[in-house]
Chains A and B, each alone.
Chain A
Amino acid sequence: DTEVTQTPKHLVMGMTNKKSLKCEQHMGHRAMYWYKQKAKKPPELMFVYSYEKLSINESVPSRFSPECPNSSLLNLHLHALQPEDSALYLCASSQVRRGAVSEQYFGPGTRLTVT
């Protein structure tokens, strides 16, 4: 199974709402990532988890809160978002191997619209 799944596919939320994005993989990967992608632009890294611990936070505003409950799941909790946060949010995972570089496997994304 080389699939990363994300739910929901689409999400519309108001600026006062609280919502969560979910990501799951069963490939045994111990690194998981959140990216934000605007239309026709490359993905921008937001967070990296390695062995369920947050290893990189790319100075993301606190209205985005990541969580890694176990090695297969990654959540992104959203609160008090702004319209400019509307984007495609991508989850990815990869193996962690000492002395090696692994490719990332991406989910299909959640299309988020903030109204």
Chain B
Amino acid sequence: AQSVAQPEDQVNVAEGNPLTVKCTYSVSGNPYLFWYVQYPNRGLQFLLKYITGDNLVKGSYGFEAEFNKSQTSFHLKKPSALVSDSALYFCAVIQNRDDKIIFGKGTRLHILP
């Protein structure tokens, strides 16, 4: 069965520093991977996705993620954090094109001014 893990409940980063939010996945075939962000009292916003091709995926708001097949990871990164990046981040995976999306438990990112 497909699954996705976000090992950190919360990540604290000082403003201006690089940030990483971790995600690992488990699927039996090729994964389709997503990152979403949720601000308080809002729906989820799509940030980026990996389907095939280049392992480094660039997304919205300066975020990027690196697909690593050998480590089954898809960590979210940003070179310089902003206070406005503080939010709840969800990693998600789809195993087959018609399967439902499976979300990780979420990681709360807190950027310290």
Binding site for B on A (CB under 8 A): 4, 6, 40-43, 45, 48, 56, 58, 90, 92, 99-101, 103-109, 111
Do B97 and A101 have beta carbons less than 8 Å apart? yes
Tell me the nearest residue of chain A to B32, going by C-beta.
A101
Q: Most A CB atoms within 10 A — which of B34, B51, B90, B101?
A: B101
* A-B interface pairs (CB < 8 A), number: 51
Chain A residues with CB below 8 A from B44, complex form: 43, 90, 92, 104, 106
- Mind listing 11 A-B residue pairs with CB under 8 Å? A40-B108, A41-B105, A42-B105, A43-B103, A92-B44, A103-B34, A103-B46, A106-B44, A108-B43, A109-B41, A109-B43
Complex Cα distance A20/B8, Å? 37
Chain B residues 1-42 with CB under 8 Å of chain A are 32, 34, 36, 41-42
Which A residues are in CB contact (< 8 Å) with B94?
A: 101
Majority DSSP secondary structure for residues of A touching B: loop
Give the CA-CA distance A10 to B19 in the complex, in Å.
Answer: 34
| A56 in contact with B41 (CB, 8 Å) | no
Q: Which 8 A-B pairs have the closest CB atoms?
A: A106-B43, A42-B103, A101-B32, A106-B44, A103-B46, A108-B43, A109-B43, A107-B43
Nearest chain B residue, comparing its CB with the CB of A108: B43
Inter-chain contact A45/B43, CB cutoff 8 Å: no
Asked if B34 and A109 make an inter-chain contact with CB atoms under 8 angstroms apart, the answer reads no
- Find chain A residues with CB under 8 A from B101 CB: 45, 104
Q: What residues of A have a CB within 8 angstroms of the CB of B43 in the complex? A: 4, 6, 90, 92, 106-109
Query: Closest approach, in angstroms, between the C-beta of B27 and any C-beta of chain A?
Result: 13
Closest to B42 in A: A108
